[in-house]
Amino acid sequence: MSLSVSDFARELQMVLKTGTVVIGSKNTIKLAKLGKAKLIIIAANAPPEIKKDLKYYAKLSNIPVYEFPGTNMELGAICGKPFSIASMAIVDPGQSNIIELIKQSGKG
């Protein structure tokens, strides 16, 4: 099963309304190191060193990583932010099924 961008966007917006999200690469890396994130989302055009660090720390902490197929500007737009988002961590998914969706798609 593949995860459509519209399904991902809908679930991410639900997380933003009902859960806890941390935006920004520094904070996302910190949460990955501490093992406190439930899911890490990285934009396709995030800087390679940030991608590498996030994937490494996420693997150590058994945190699924979803590589969003769009750009950091598109990820920012989905989140309703007027700036680009290279990476973000979901600490609490709230009423969203985003983690299950990503695991089912085989992308996480």
Q: How many CB atoms lie within 10 A of CB 84?
A: 15
| Percent of the chain at pLDDT exceeding 90 | 84
Model confidence, pTM: 0.93
Q: How many CB atoms lie within 10 A of CB 52?
A: 11
- CA–CA separation, 39 vs 42, rounded Å? 10
Identify the domain containing residue 44 by its residue range.
5-105
Q: What is the CATH number of the domain that holds 26?
A: 3.30.1330.30
- pLDDT tens profile 18-43: 999 999 999 999 999 999 999 999 99
pLDDT band at 73 (very low <50, low <70, confident <90, very high): very high
In the chain, the number of structural domains is 1
